[in-house]
Chains A and B, each alone.
Chain A
Amino acid sequence: MDMFNAGGPEVSIRSLKKDSMKFVLSNCDLSVANALRRVMIAEVPTMAIDMVEIESNTTVLTDEFIAHRLGMIPLTSFDVDRIQYTRDCTCTLYCPNCSVELTLHVKVNVDIDEMNDATIDKTRHVTSIDLISSDESVKPVTDDKAHPILIVKMRPGQELKLKCIAKKGVAKEHAKWSPVYGVAFEYDPYNKLRHSHYWIEESVESEWFVSPNAQEETPPDPNEPFDYNAKPEKYYMELETSGCMKPEDVVLRAMTIMQDKLGGLQIKLDDEVTGEAQRWGY
């Protein structure tokens, strides 16, 4: 590792919570930090509802509206490595190796006495709690039992009956598979490198506040000339997960995915070089 600046990248964790974490990555290039950020957002696989078979829907929302809402519900994905991608599976549409089934059946009965009493709220909230999963490790994220995710509101006499197929996927294909709701990424809070160009009326100092991360850096000296060779060194990262997996696992999986991609490329490049040599008769 001697080719990297003094000992290679360093990690310093600031806080770790149930579904968010803050850490500082330092002594590495912007491209590497950005790669980590991009993989966490778009290439860490999770489970999400991908197919919906609606048997009965007499609610006010259309089938496709409900199907879309179901797709956005985060599902616990701690055990996602056990599940295969359907494209790699031997089945044609879905099977237990590459999918998890969830069902929902809510029917609101008409009670004549209740109907005549205007003081009773007759609206039934159909939420993520009503989704019954066939697999204990893949079910809607319901940390806050008092505030589950609302799917549709129903009135007496209406019915919703459906079957959902959850599949493994990555957010490169659809954002519903992203394990994170957001990744905050900051470097150079004083803008010493001038990578940011602030819109101002009179002065940057009075119109733009400096982020809390600036506490870890030395303030710029106004008499110092601009260092055009300077490179960013510290990256302040903060990620918030959907609750589908632990934040530290998102980071670790992301780095492992990077390695897998690199390993795959080495094999493919090897194939190509061998093929090329044969073509030219070496």
Chain B
Amino acid sequence: MADINMEEEIDSGKVTILPGSLDVQNATFCLADEDHTLCNALRWIVMKNPEVDFASYSIPHPSEARTNVRIQTSEKTTAVDAMFKGLDDLSDLCTHVISAFQEELARGEFEYDEESTF
């Protein structure tokens, strides 16, 4: 029974704010199905925000597909807003990389060979 409840906790909802961790400036977010791929970049971009005092992530156990992201901010913002801003900024960064890559492809100033493998 305990096992079933635990799985439900992880599966239901991709983002949860861990109980007891939330006051306005501080929160730990639990992201289900995310790992180093997204969370390390997210942690970096959240820390770029000058109002963020602390941002870090950890994976509590390798066999559980979830990651905890801790954010602490100054009084000028909230942890939830800092998280939203981080997600937004990282998405903007992806847009930028995509357009830079597409421009570079269109420019075509590179060694190009459709036939050969290497």
Interface residues, chain A, CB within 8 Å of chain B? Answer: 1, 3-4, 8-20, 23, 25, 28-29, 31-32, 34-36, 38-39, 42-43, 143, 240, 248, 251-252, 255-256, 258-259, 261-266, 268-269, 271-273, 276
B-side interface mostly? helix
Query: Provided the pairs A1-B92, A12-B104 are in contact, do residues A18 and B41 lie with their beta carbons within 8 angstroms?
Result: no
Query: Provided the pairs A17-B114, A18-B115 are in contact, do residues A248 and B41 lie with their beta carbons within 8 angstroms?
Result: no
19 contacts between A and B (CB under 8 A): A1-B96, A9-B93, A10-B100, A11-B103, A15-B111, A18-B113, A23-B104, A28-B97, A29-B41, A38-B37, A42-B37, A251-B101, A258-B38, A258-B90, A258-B94, A264-B14, A269-B80, A271-B13, A272-B15
Min CB–CB distance B15 → chain A (angstroms): 4
Q: Give the nearest-CB partner of A34 in chain B.
A: B40
Min CB–CB distance B85 → chain A (angstroms): 10
Query: Provided the pairs A15-B111, A18-B115, A269-B80 are in contact, do residues A262 and B98 lie with their beta carbons within 8 angstroms?
Result: no
Q: Give the nearest-CB partner of B105 in chain A.
A: A248
Residues in A whose Cβ lies below 8 Å from that of B116: 17-18
CA distance A20 to B114 in the complex (A): 10
CA distance A265 to B66 in the complex (A): 13
Of B40, B87, B101, B113, the residue contacting A262 (CB under 8 A) is B87
Contact B41 A32 (CB under 8 A): yes
Q: Give the nearest-CB partner of A272 in chain B.
A: B15
Residues in B whose Cβ lies below 8 Å from that of A39: 37
Of B48, B110, B112, the residue contacting A3 (CB under 8 A) is B48
Query: Provided the pairs A11-B104, A32-B41 are in contact, do residues A265 and B96 lie with their beta carbons within 8 angstroms?
Result: no
Contact A269 B100 (CB under 8 A): no
Of B13, B88, B90, the residue contacting A272 (CB under 8 A) is B13
Min CB–CB distance B81 → chain A (angstroms): 10
CA distance A42 to B13 in the complex (A): 22
Of B14, B40, B80, B118, the residue contacting A265 (CB under 8 A) is B14
B70 within 8 A of A: no
Of A14, A259, A261, the residue contacting B95 (CB under 8 A) is A259
Contact A35 B110 (CB under 8 A): no
Min CB–CB distance B89 → chain A (angstroms): 7
Contact B22 A35 (CB under 8 A): no
Residues in B whose Cβ lies below 8 Å from that of A143: 117
B16 within 8 A of A: yes
